[in-house]
Amino acid sequence: MYTVRFQLELSGSEKRFLSKSFFYANQMHNQLVRYATNRLNALFHDKEYVGARKAYGEAEFSKKKGSELSASEKKKKKELSNIMCIKQK
């Protein structure tokens, strides 16, 4: 694959406009990343979520297929999934 580069011929006002546009896009990106990181950190420090996630991973049903689960395992899996889903929202 080849890349072709062309130099833009812009006036001074067009350069300023593009420069400001990219600057503000970068600022918005940084704010979104900061917000998402804070939300994820809060989720991973939530004791209820961490406990449900750990129990879900350690449970026997996590290693089985859906058709091999008993009724109690299905119920427990659904409860843990609901807890994690609610906390994620």
Q: What percent of the chain has pLDDT over 70?
A: 89
Is residue 49 included in any domain, yes or no?
yes
Is residue 83 included in any domain, yes or no?
yes
* Mean pLDDT value of segment 49-53: 88
Those residues whose C-beta lies under 8 Å from the C-beta of residue 86, and which sit 6 or more positions away, are none
Mean pLDDT score of the chain, rounded to an integer?
87
**Tell me, what's the pLDDT at 67?**
62
Using 50, 70 and 90 to split pLDDT, how confident is the model at 39? very high
Is residue 4 included in any domain, yes or no?
no
| Count of domains for the chain | 1
Nearest Cα residue to 77 out of 66, 88, 34: 66
Decide if pLDDT at 65 tops 80. no
Decide if pLDDT at 66 tops 60. no
Is residue 44 included in any domain, yes or no?
yes
- Model's pTM, two decimal places? 0.62
Burial class (CB in 10 A: 0-12, 13-18, 19+), 69: middle
Those residues whose C-beta lies under 8 Å from the C-beta of residue 59, and which sit 6 or more positions away, are 73, 76, 77, 80
